[in-house]
Structure 1
């Protein structure tokens, strides 16, 4: 178990091995970054269930280590957070700090997990359709050189889905399950845009 200072931010997800740039301007989170820099440089990214003050948290987030930091003259920070491990919230702690803290179980990742060739091919095919439909410009040669974990987690982190959908991706226990869910979401998103020309996709 671990005590984790958390940054609840809807729509912002972090995965192990990936990076997330953040601009820190609220006083409570400036205090959190200062505290983390004085200790182990680690904070937890997690989504609130609702985008409101003190909202309950989703069950799973990701612990990140501050890799790069730029301290601005007015007390704000620009940081780059690198994901280390997903965590499951056991309980929120009663604290005197201006930022929230939780007791969490750190989740071990299966680093040996790989996709079957047919899973990888299916994902890349659907990703091309999705990117073309959204007008994204992708270097597919570069994509083909990524390993399965980097590819699936990378797309999951930046995908233009809503908070509930992105949370479901984060909570997927294996790369294979996450890949299958990504394909379903891309298909659903594409069908929805075709049907009513609306942006966004939801699992709610």
Structure 2
């Protein structure tokens, strides 16, 4: 299996195995732990290991998903169910055997992608041709110079999390660079699936910051941010 540097230095694959999961938000240089236990996703994991060790995380378009035959209680999507257009490819950077033949992995985000079309294949999981061109800056490294209005972000975040009954590691957040800070805030905050999709589709870090601030401030005020996500891919 390729290393993280191999993938960054080389070309990202144009065909990805997809893991559609409601509410799952992976961003470039962010990390996501996953417990893989369904047979179709264990098959997907085997495929990923043989193809640069990468998986495309993407959300089903309908959220929350109504239970249908073939869906599980995590909100994963069967073949043919619409997906959002934009996801993030992650590389398997940690893995360990879990209980009952499950596999515990950690994905590290590499780059966002747009789904071009799904590939018709004889597998139990979904594959898609993808395009990275809208997000060419994702593989150019993080932003650690602390240019954002962090004091405003921290102030609003404290109220937002308190209102949601959550706590934060404030020392760890204060030490983080801008991109790492926004990744953590976006990935662990109790945002709706549609709000998380808007975050992943924000083109640059500054727009991600502005969007997160608007979402949190409106939530604190008891309002909701209007869904401005891209149409689904069928």
TM-score normalised by structure 1 residue count: 0.86
The answer as to whether partners of 2:147 and 2:178 remain within 8 angstroms in 1 is: no
CA RMSD of aligned residues (A): 2.1
Please give the alpha-carbon distance, in whole angstroms, between the structure 2 residues aligned to 1:166 and 1:98.
27
Deviations 1:47-93 (A, max 9, x none): 01022533111111110111111234743211111111111111111
1:86 and 2:116 are equivalent in the alignment = no
Q: How many residues align?
A: 196
Equivalent position of 1:45 in the other structure: 57
Residue 136 of structure 1: how far off its partner (Å): 2.6
1:132 and 2:162 are equivalent in the alignment = yes
Please give the alpha-carbon distance, in whole angstroms, between the structure 1 residues aligned to 2:98 and 2:157.
39
Q: Which runs of 5+ in 1 are unaligned?
A: 194-200
Q: Find the residue that maps to 2:171 and give its secondary structure.
A: helix
TM-score normalised by structure 2 residue count: 0.76
Equivalent position of 1:19 in the other structure: 31
Query: 1:52-131, aligned counterparts within 5 Å?
Result: 53=78, 54-72=80-98, 74-106=100-132, 107-108=135-136, 109=138, 111=141, 116-117=147-148, 119-131=149-161
Change (3 A) 1:87 1:185: same
Q: Which runs of 5+ in 2 are unaligned?
A: 1-12, 66-76, 228-234
Q: Between 89-98 and 46-55, report the one with greater CA deviation.
A: 46-55
Query: 1:133-148, aligned counterparts within 5 Å?
Result: 133-148=163-178
Please give the alpha-carbon distance, in whole angstroms, between the structure 2 residues aligned to 1:39 and 1:101.
12
